[in-house]
Structure 1
């Protein structure tokens, strides 16, 4: 294995030396370096022209030939397991988006910092006992203490007296895979996004009831805003972390009514989370499944930016941004979509994860479950909803942040060309021409990543 890697590396070095002798080497190298180490860039072929909008004069022309034959652009993938560099940019953008909704900025007034805000965690229910790590006052406790003779119908022990370390591979694994309700777990996963939607509707109803106003008139006195992220647990199920904020009828710029203070908002969240129910399809095949959130609902007030406070706005924003770039790989799943049933035999995953994927594939082939797209989302263990979502009024958007960054870079480029005082537009035609690196380009990209370079301008 090491010998093969050495031969491959030598070939890449030789290819880089050969490329360095070509006249377009510097342009080609700049095209790779400007990506900041992106691991899977997109190739474009085409041309563009910078035009003065007042005179129609062509100020500057560019083509893929200026970059060694192909223009490389960053992949933009949000998942750190796919591209750590682009995921870092996505994480930073998500942090800014979330923080703006907590303390203001990016077009949101600073007065939102005084609005009622809570940080909520909604978990999945249990589908069977799994190995877990329990601690108390710094001590690791036994996983599931039970009497030694207590066993399930399949003669498996109902308890586990192991004190699991954080890297224990058994964490998240069922004590008995035959007792574990894999069908229920997969169906819960597939409906988690709908459960969240029902939760938000129920939360509005609960607040309207507490405020003594009709549900249809709630928007005249109060509006809810939120931003949420999905995080995979070791057992392969997601739970939601969300910031929920209460605003006045005009949104972030207006205060919420006095009765909708932080404590009332927190109580309403707990009540709504415990109320939501959803019937899963396919009861005639696998039996009825009534889907709900888990009993563990964590609701904590967000305390602003005061130093020493337990839960600050910055800490919450960083926490949400952290999970925005993670996927099902955190639960031991795979990055890519599964195309054929035969692929399941070759997946490098643990037994529990393979059973969840297999259950997705099995249910996905049955008529009642076809609308769920379970085979399409088998690599995500059945979860097909967005990982990061927000309500329209919460704060700015990722698109707005990306647009602002692109405009800033374009202005920097115009300044460098001495054209900052002219009104311009870029007209171009580009087409997709592949993706990835050649071996010699991969060497340069790796050196950029090791040097800590980000996306270039």
Structure 2
């Protein structure tokens, strides 16, 4: 089944969630530029900043007798910016496999089923990205705290949080705050006084003075930009991004070797479980945030999650991890542009930023580290100031500007990608060579995102009574659905659906706040009686 994907909605509309098949008006064509630029409410009927086409389509939908049914039908994707519309049939079978009923999407509102796009990037779909972040939050929390979904309590397990960065590929403008104010809130943009960027330097062979006496502010456009574009090793950076997943794989294998050595010294068996996410720095290179948990080993039940022996301390675990990161290094595949040799791939020489989680007297607790890691799964290259999709032969001419730092990174990916060993650089040129997953983890660290999605499905299908769910029910509903289109049919539909979702979130939050107040009053009353 196919449908037109032309953007029939005006590109200047500000309605969130406008789909690919929106309404049109007489005399208006989507590829034509309106000659009239001055708008007044009296002239063209703008209402509260919305296009009159949006208001008209929204009013028409709201006046439809089946409006309540439509609103309930799109509830699952009402907050999504670009929902997916599916068409086809749904068959319901009994326990013996006999077909009991068939539901056709043609009989449903709009002739389709709406499902969220599921995009993890907040810049693409804030609603789906927030759901992805919350799932990741609970996944990490289960791996640190346990005592849920079949995972045992993990309070006796040792865990460390580390940040592994890339080496330097040339001096860039940076911002370093050595002393923060007492009321500083870094997550909202630090306003503390920073150190001088590069107080000392020399003149490079290209005649550029490699010094900067500025104290950069947060969000300064110069941050991450090389002091000299010609001196900066753009090829080395994109190759490091390209090799980062392999470097991590070798590093975690070396961690296993160091733990086996540590275990042999003390006569015990140790296991490590981890979860990691990547984050782009402003200069366009990634670094990893990883949470590594140390477990013991039960020979009678190898799959069991047991605490490590008491003989193993946090300092021993930290030393083993640090040693593994120092030892791991290798040479990448050869390339003609590098003199027929490969690049040296290793971690940065500034060392690991490593902290113990929930250690006595420590500064990192479970709630902080869980929220800190989960927030990065909704981000991509936005921090660099460039957010692209795939780069092809045409777009590389536009985005691969040799006069900019990011343009040179994209061009380096494209040029180096001609070699068969580095063909993936072209595929991931829009991410400056990095093509790994946003988050990876050990199997036994926690549950999976698929498990969490299944739990959500069970909750919805049982209407909040998951104890009535039978696993055989998954085989009784057969979906024969195909892709129809992406996006809301009209901008008015997007406005109504997103507004309904916002009101539902507000009601839920009000209920949670009322429950919290009631619990607080009960605790206060209990303390008063005890006193």
C-alpha displacement of 1:391: 0.6
1:42 equivalent to 2:93? Answer: no
- Aligned partner of 1:154 in structure 2 is 206
| Alignment partners' CA distance in 1, 2:241 and 2:263 | 33
Give the conservation status (yes or no) of the 8 Å contact 1:334–1:349: no
Contact 2:400–2:408 under 8 Å retained in 1: no
Contact 2:270 2:294 in 1 (8 A): yes
1:241 match:
289
1:76 aligns with 2:118: yes
Deviation at 1:135, TM superposition (A): 1.1
2:365 counterpart residue number? 312
* CA-to-aligned-CA distance 1:254-296 (integer Å, 9 cap, x gap): 2223443211111111111111112122344324410111123
| Aligned CA distance change for structure 1 residues 203 and 259 (closer, same or farther; 3 Å) | farther
Match of 1:121 in 2: 163
Larger radius of gyration: 2
Separation in 2, partners of 1:137, 1:73? 48
Give the distance between the partners of 2:329 and 2:486, measured in 1 at CA.
44
| Alpha-carbon distance in 1 for matches of 2:357, 2:304 | 16
Q: Residue 353 of structure 2 is aligned with which of 287, 290, 298? A: 298
Indicate whether 1:95 and 2:137 are aligned: yes
Distance in 2 between residues matched to 1:392 and 1:405, nearest whole Å: 21
Is 1:412 the counterpart of 2:463? The answer is yes
Q: CA deviation at 1:222?
A: 1.2
1:210/1:428 CA distance change after superposition, 3 Å: closer
Shift of 1:349: 12
The structure 2 residue matched to 1:140, chosen from 179, 189, 194, is 194
**Cα distance 1:348–1:49, how it changes in 2: closer, same or farther (>3 A)?**
farther
Mapping of residues 422-437 of structure 1, within 5 Å: 424=473, 425-437=476-488
Equivalents in 2 of 1:188, 1:45: separation in Å?
44
Pairing 1:227–2:281 present: no
Aligned 8 A contact 1:119 1:299 in 2? yes
CA positional deviation for 1:230 = 0.4
Partner deviation per Cα, 1:150-192 (whole Å, 9 max, x = no partner): 2111111111110000010010111111000000000000010
Following superposition, the deviation at residue 26 of structure 1 comes to 3.5
Task: List per-residue Cα deviations over 1:26-55 (Å, max 9, x = no partner).
Answer: 433333343141011111012224444269
C-alpha contact 1:248 1:254 (8 A) present in aligned 2: yes
CA distance in 2, matches of 1:182, 1:452: 48
Instruction: Write out per-residue CA displacement over residues 318-356 of structure 1, whole angstroms, 9 at most, x where no aligned residue.
Output: 111000111122222324112224444158999222211
Following the alignment from structure 1 to structure 2, what is the Cα–Cα distance between the partners of residues 130 and 267?
31
What SS class does the counterpart of residue 299 from structure 1 fall into? strand
- Aligned pair in 2 of structure 1 residues 443, 343: CA closer, same or farther (>3 Å)? farther
Instruction: Using the TM superposition, name which of 377-386 and 271-280 deviates more.
Output: 271-280
Given that 1:225 and 1:245 are in contact with CA atoms closer than 8 Å, whether structure 2 keeps it comes out as: yes
How far off is 1:15 after superposition?
2.3
Q: Deviations over 1:382-419 (max 9, x none)?
A: 1101110001111111111111111111111899xxx9
The residue aligned with 1:365 is 418
Q: How does the TM-score come out when normalised to structure 2?
A: 0.76
Q: Distance in 2 between matches of 1:412 and 1:185?
A: 51
In structure 2, C-alpha distance between the alignment counterparts of 1:294 and 1:118, rounded to whole Å: 19
Tell me the TM-score normalized by structure 1: 0.88
1:328 aligns with 2:381: yes
Deviation at residue 312 of structure 1 after TM alignment = 0.6
Deviates more, 1:165-174 or 1:290-299: 290-299
For residues 443 and 13 of structure 1, what CA distance do their matches in structure 2 show?
9
Measured in 2, the distance between the counterparts of 1:93 and 1:252 equals 24
Shift of 1:14: 1.6
- Aligned ranges 1:342-381 → 2 under 5 Å: 342-345=395-398, 351-370=404-423, 373-381=424-432
C-alpha change, 1:265 and 1:309, in structure 2 (3 Å) is closer
Matched residue, 2:215: 163
Specify whether residues 65 and 194 from structure 1 end up closer, same or farther in structure 2 by C-alpha distance, changes over 3 A only: same
| Cα gap change, 1:259 to 1:191, in 2 (>3 Å) | farther
**1:85 equivalenced with 2:85 (yes/no):** no
Moved more, 277-286 or 382-391: 277-286
Give the distance between the partners of 1:45 and 1:427, measured in 2 at CA. Answer: 14
Distance in 1 separating the partners of 2:76 and 2:444 = 35
Q: Do the aligned partners of residues 442 and 136 (structure 1) sit closer, same or farther apart at CA in structure 2, a change above 3 Å counting?
A: same
Note if contact 1:74-1:86 (Cα within 8 Å) is conserved in structure 2: yes
Q: Note the aligned Cα RMSD (angstroms).
A: 3.1
Of 236-245 and 351-360, more deviation after overlay is shown by: 351-360
User: What runs of 5+ residues in structure 1 fail to find an aligned partner?
Assistant: none
- Taking a change above 3 Å as real, the CA distance of residues 23 and 399 of structure 1, as seen in their structure-2 partners, is same
Q: Number of matched residues?
A: 442
Unpaired segments ≥5 residues, structure 2: 1-11, 14-36, 181-192, 509-531
- Spell out the pairing of 1:385-404 with structure 2 (5 A cutoff): 385-404=436-455
